[in-house]
Amino acid sequence: MQTTEDINNEVHQRTMEFRAAFGNKEFFEEGMIRSLEAMFGLCEIFFGKDCASLGFDTMVSHVFQRNDGKLGWQEILEEDFVGIYSETKLGQLLHDLTAFADYGIVLATARDDKQRLQLLASQVQQAEALLSLLPSDVWGLNDEHLVVVLQKSLARWKVDNGDPLDAGELAILSGRALQTIKNKLSGQTKEIKGSQKRIEAHEARAWLSAQKDYYGSLWQIQDDTDIVIEADQGMGDVVFVPIAKDGSTFNPGLQRDGKYLIDAEGAEREFDDFTSALTALQQMHFPQWRRPTPEGKWTRVRGVEWRRVSVQELEASTMPQD
């Protein structure tokens, strides 16, 4: 029998694997953009191009905090593609649902099992609502990762709650081709018990558990007690720091020849100490700074979000100096 420590270690391992894999191969952002383009086409017919452009430009620029009015909504999404998951409500939902669909875990911290169930149920309900409104067949989105994440989340939710699946849902959840599932449902010695239209949850779970690349759900027995206690104790001294598109943080280790290099090309300023440099970044509409790549080449990056971190955490994340 697994102990709480064993379960927490497994959840932690899956979380790390999810973070390492997220956004490396499959991109739900592409499906989001295609959906927006289709919606824009409808609005263009309904209200005219100028009115539709104004509405979409306003929404997207507001979400990405682009106040200069120089770029249209499509250009903003293209330029800030890697920030779509963190800046949009749907992106954040799909980020969390990917962890649930692929790894059977819940990323959000919950004080108890009831709260975790409520958090996850709300996310699944949003996924179900979106799928019901999204004409994926008409818009040609069925193969988009956006739709796959939503469908896979709903399929896992069914298994975890004892509801039957059909062959298509089991194919999506297992990552197998639909024809493969159909073959395993047929013949005298069925590998999967059931029919193409109905596979009982316990039968689906039994077959899935035998697949080496499938992660059984752990969210029901996650224990966030240590995280909650740490959160209740507080973070101590904290600061708000900008985060670049690749997830790196502006930190005290980013000195080049003893200087922090801040601002856009042609307007770059130098600061001797971290606090002054961070203050300057906080006053900028679009914070930019220089930092070294793993190869040691100094490049300029732009902040896409702000994050509150403890001073202790910030010092721990310090990159080595050039």
Mean pLDDT rounded to a whole number for the chain: 90
- Identify whether residues 263 and 212 lie together within a single domain: no
Whether residue 2 contacts residue 220, with contact meaning beta carbons closer than 8 Å, is answered with no
Whether 36 and 85 share a structural domain: yes
The answer, yes or no, to whether residue 322 has pLDDT greater than 70, is no
Per-residue pLDDT of 122-171, as tens digits, reads: 999 999 999 999 999 999 999 999 999 999 999 999 999 999 999 999 99
Its domain, for residue 253, covers 235-316
Q: Does residue 21 sit in the same domain as residue 151?
A: yes
- With cut-offs at 50, 70 and 90, classify the pLDDT of residue 230: low
77 and 150 fall within a common domain? yes
| Residue 114, in any domain of the structure | yes
Q: How many domains does the chain have?
A: 2
Examine the domain organization and report whether 54 and 109 are in the same domain.
yes
Residue 230 within any structural domain of the chain:
no
Q: Give the long-range contacts of residues 35-41, CB within 8 A, separation 24 or more.
A: 35/134, 35/139, 35/141, 35/146, 36/73, 36/77, 37/74, 38/139, 40/73
Instruction: Answer whether residue 320 shows pLDDT above 50.
Output: no
Give tens-digit pLDDT for 170-204: 999 999 999 999 999 998 788 999 999 999 999 99
Does residue 199 share a domain with residue 305? no
**Would you tell me how many other CB atoms lie within 10 Å of the CB of residue 239?**
16
pLDDT of 101: 97
60: in domain: yes
